[in-house]
Amino acid sequence: MAPRGLWKGYLKLSLVTCPVVLAPATSASEKISFHTLNRATGNRVEGIYVDAQTEETVDADDQARGYEREPDSYVILDDEDLAAVALESNRTIDIESFVPADAVEWIWYDTPHFLMPDDPVGEEAFAVIREAMVATGKVGLSRVVLHRRERPVMLEPRGRGIVLWTLHYSDELRRPEGYFEDLDEVADADLVALVGKLIDKRTGKWDAALVSDPLQANLKQLIAAKKKKRPAKRRTARVADDDETPTNVVNIMDALKKSLAAERKPGGRRS
């Protein structure tokens, strides 16, 4: 059964409309989280707000959001003020334009979601929009209100569905200008060829296990051991052999030749 959607509405392209549901493509539910406890009693600790000057507790009704216009001077915004500028969702993803699929650089990508038809009657319209994007090599651009905030989004056909990426706002990104200009643009062709061979030897198939989180495995082992009242086996990082210890190598050619030779040794890294 498909996961529960976080948003329901309509996908619209000109006069073609179909009901859709949006579900998150990522999840933090498997991540181990902690509560802050009183070590003496084992009870959970509650957070409170304290006035920085008077050190008195501030009740929830007396708390307000403030924008610092200058040091120690704030513009206070009440819930009514924020509600007045909040965006109401019309529950429609109206595809405003299309661009080539490779035109949107990865740096703009924020959070992926799965977009699916929410009604058997609308599946044909959904499929037509999806397949038309595939046939033309285009992705759709639109906007949608999520959590009362309008987000620019990109619609990318994927299999029988569509992946909807929220995109970063332009003022959220640091452009690469100013970072890379002073770097040497020319690399020795022979060195490039050797590194290419090294890359070929270490090239394999993509596997989700390559991006697994070792800390989560360690935490699960630790918690299981704590439940059984026994010490957990400590997992340590692999100690590199002496001949693998990084050094300040001056001769890159020698280092690359040594790396390639190590790849060919029995027991060496294989693709």
Which is more confidently placed, 114 or 34? 114
Closest CA to 137 of 164, 178, 87, 99: 99
- Between CA 33 and CA 4 the distance in angstroms is 22
Query: What pLDDT score does 247 carry?
Result: 52
Closest CA to 120 of 22, 6, 21: 21
- Annotated domain spans of the chain: 7-28+87-172, 189-205+212-264
Question: Tens digits of per-residue pLDDT, 175-226?
Answer: 777 787 777 777 888 888 888 888 888 888 988 888 777 887 888 888 888 7
Phi/psi for 198 (5° steps) reads -65, -40
- Between CA 83 and CA 148 the distance in angstroms is 10
Query: What pLDDT score does 190 carry?
Result: 86
The whole model's pTM is what?
A: 0.70
Rounded to an integer, the average pLDDT of 5-20 is 90
Query: What pLDDT score does 158 carry?
Result: 95
Give residue 249's pLDDT band: very low, low, confident or very high (50, 70, 90).
very low
Question: Tens digits of per-residue pLDDT, 61-100?
Answer: 888 889 998 888 899 888 788 777 766 667 899 999 999 9
Question: Tens digits of per-residue pLDDT, 147-178?
Answer: 878 899 999 999 999 999 999 998 898 877 77
Closest CA to 63 of 50, 74, 81: 50
| Side chain identity, residue 207 | D
Residue 162 near residue 115, CB atoms below 8 Å:
yes
The class level of CATH for 7-28+87-172 reads mainly beta
| Side chain identity, residue 26 | T
| Side chain identity, residue 8 | K
Cα–Cα distances (Å) from 34 to 43, 217, 230, 234, 267, in that order, read 13, 15, 20, 20, 41
